Structure 1
Amino acid sequence: MKGETKRGPIWALGAMSGTSLDGVDAAMVLTDGQTITEFGPHAYRPMSEAERAVIRAAFGRWPGDAGVAEAAEVVETAHAELLSRFTGVDVVGFHGQTLAHDPAHRGTHQCGDGAVLAEVLGAPVVWDFRSNDVAMGGQGAPLAPFFHFACAKWAGATEPLAFLNLGGVGNLTWVDPSCPTPETPGALLAFDTGPANAPINDLMMARLGRAQDEGGALAAQGSSDEAAVSEFLDHPYFYKIPPKSLDRNDFSFTFRTFDEMPPQDAAATLTAIAAASVARGAEHFPRPVTRILVTGGGRHNATMMRELAARLTCMVEPVEAVGLNGDMLEAQAFAYLAVRVLRGLPTSCPTTTGVPAAVGGGQISRP
């Protein structure tokens, strides 16, 4: 395939469907797996409520469990519909849909078969990015940090900065762009901060039949229970030294106490918890940063952004402040990582996932 024989930058198409289940993002990146040369076209396909229901029913399940094959079919169909709109693609990076993540027992499960997509799209597909890292004792997440490093270089940064992704779960990447490569010791530190949009979305669906708190409007009408925020931060996860990662449902038992709150106060408290978790995470940075660049759906939540600004001591801005696209950054990351896999470059290292040594991941399926 030409993407594997070409030298220099190639066009990669990445796809991401996050745990918040809003839809599938797809974006193209021209890269050699190290430097970003150009960002290409992108597109989005929302998930229908029926599709979300099938996937939601399979959360927490493993290959072969009831409902997993049905979820995989939904995921593959949604991706095939979206990715087939693109042309000039040398390689596809397919993340799949995370259903379960248990690195302590060497398990992670992203449903969707890359071989099926390779046949449909007629291009090589790199997929199953996390399993190799987990099998070697890593957390398998987060995987965007190597791309964040490339983005910091692309943006011309010279001092340490951090990327904050607010999806279903929050994660931080601390970057020192003065280092030559992402696997260089001291270049990166990455970890999941805690729950972000997932519990807010779950609350909105359960109490109001809405997919999300649009713009943080409901939370803005409520008052956060700071005692509940403090109690939440006593969870053992916050005392673990990073790198560390979470499953979408790791804190679900804690959120049952919010059922008695008025919905606006519950939304305000869950938003405050997400921001306070990030502030607690920033205490782990090797050196302070002057700015945190926010990506993912959470940056559209004005209440969340206000909470972050109030709880952090540095500037908090959406990634658009440096010319990046926060809606597509994760899809772009898997485009970039696909090229790294093709070229035999590592995709994670000890300070991003806790894996013992820098390691590459991913299966390659050819049409």
Structure 2
Amino acid sequence: MSGTSLDGVDAAMLQSDGQEILAFGDSGYRAYSAQEQAVLRSGLGCWQDAPEVAQVAALCEQAHEEVLAGFEGAELIGFHGQTLAHDPGGRGTHQAGDGAALAARLGKPVVWDFRSSDVELGGQGAPLAPFFHFACAKWIGATEPLAFLNLGGVGNITWVDPRKSTPEEPGALLAFDTGPANAPLNDLLQQRRGQAYDKDGALAAQGEVVEGALELFLDDPYFPKIPPKSLDRDAFADMLDLVRELDDGDAAATMTGMAATAVMLALDHCPTRPHQLLVTGGGRHNPVMMQMLEASLDCAVKPVEMVGLDGDMLEAQAFAYLAIRVAKGLPTSSPETTGVSALVGGGTVSYPANNPA
């Protein structure tokens, strides 16, 4: 998985029958250099016909090949690609990277292009991790509704009712993007200090949330919109303008507060209040972000490690799980997770020449 934060590629092994998680395996990480991040940024917002895309796709395939070469025994690979543009209801969705080329290089079948089928059938194409979150809720033995919050470049939430038997059962899931999370904050740090992100929330801890900027942010019509709904990485590009006049500390604190408040508003859309909110993604490493969530929410807020899961690898594990479901012909999204018109199993399976379908 190479996400919208553009920090690197996560890879993780998972054993599953497409329903239950049977075992978690090894994981790995391949960071993008500053120069490589610049290449990826050059393609943001670009569609398949843009000249920048070829270079981004080549880099994405190379990075994935490098990290995946360190895994032995994998029978199937899930390859998400690098999201460059996401416009459901418009031009569609675009993840750069050719799964067929990766299958040829690695000599193993690769499942890829997970989102297009969902979008073509009227869905948002995101978020796609909810079916895996349902399996995780079963794996940890949850008995009451809970929610998974992924704070990556964009925030997304999955409300899960583990009392249901399958993720496709009506009422088992609700999922949607909460709003911007790390991406605009990372952009702020890059622009002002040449840093990739606000490590340990150190800069935000030096400032205060400026209510005027926060209120302008919350006026966006996205927040009251009924889910399912999704966002492009740069959907809230004006956030940087809202904090332009603030000093670095106040700007970082305010943008962190924006992400946390978006989560608070998201919980109002859930069928019932979750018993606990399990946080994954890079945002859980930001103590200021976590403190803001704990202060504003009326449920327990925990990093997923507290229930035995790996928050750094959960999304990579999700696409391993989804790859198995695609290969078995099982659905990967539903009307409750993406707004798609019917259950859909997204994804294309590409086989190497020496291992045809």
TM superposition score category, shorter chain reference: over 0.9
> Using the alignment, how far apart are the partners of 1:105 and 1:24 within structure 2?
28
**Do 2:184 and 2:239's aligned partners in 1 also have CA atoms closer than 8 Å?**
no
Which residues of 2 match residues 253-332 of structure 1 at below 5 A?
A: 253-332=238-317
Q: What SS does the aligned partner of 2:144 have?
A: coil
Aligned to 1:12: none
Q: What SS does the aligned partner of 2:89 have?
A: helix
Aligned to 1:4: none
Unaligned stretches of 5+ residues in structure 1: 1-15
Which residues of 2 match residues 6-17 of structure 1 at below 5 A?
A: 16-17=1-2
1:106 positional shift: 4.8
> Using the alignment, how far apart are the partners of 1:20 and 1:214 within structure 2?
14
> Using the alignment, how far apart are the partners of 2:18 and 2:132 within structure 1?
9
- Identity among equivalent pairs (%): 64
1:255 positional shift: 2.4
**Do 2:43 and 2:52's aligned partners in 1 also have CA atoms closer than 8 Å?**
yes
> Using the alignment, how far apart are the partners of 1:345 and 1:123 within structure 2?
20
Unaligned stretches of 5+ residues in structure 2: 353-357
Amino acid at match of 2:25: G
Over aligned residues, Cα RMSD in angstroms? 0.7
Amino acid at match of 1:99: L
1:38 aligns with 2:23: yes
Aligned to 2:134: 149
Which residues of 2 match residues 66-145 of structure 1 at below 5 A?
A: 66-145=51-130
**Do 2:183 and 2:233's aligned partners in 1 also have CA atoms closer than 8 Å?**
yes
**Do 1:106 and 1:134's aligned partners in 2 also have CA atoms closer than 8 Å?**
no
1:315 positional shift: 0.6
Q: How many residues align?
A: 352
**Do 1:106 and 1:137's aligned partners in 2 also have CA atoms closer than 8 Å?**
no
Aligned to 2:5: 20
> Using the alignment, how far apart are the partners of 2:140 and 2:112 within structure 1?
28
Cα distance per residue 1:276-298 (max 9 Å; x no partner)? 00000000110111210000000
Which 4+ residue blocks in structure 1 deviate beyond 6 angstroms? none
Aligned to 1:339: 324
Cα distance per residue 1:246-278 (max 9 Å; x no partner)? 001011024213122101100000000000000
Amino acid at match of 2:246: M
> Using the alignment, how far apart are the partners of 1:231 and 1:215 within structure 2?
26
So what's the TM-score if we normalise by structure 2?
A: 0.98
Aligned to 1:54: 39
**Do 1:60 and 1:100's aligned partners in 2 also have CA atoms closer than 8 Å?**
yes
Amino acid at match of 1:156: G
1:213 aligns with 2:222: no
Aligned to 1:176: 161
> Using the alignment, how far apart are the partners of 1:299 and 1:65 within structure 2?
35
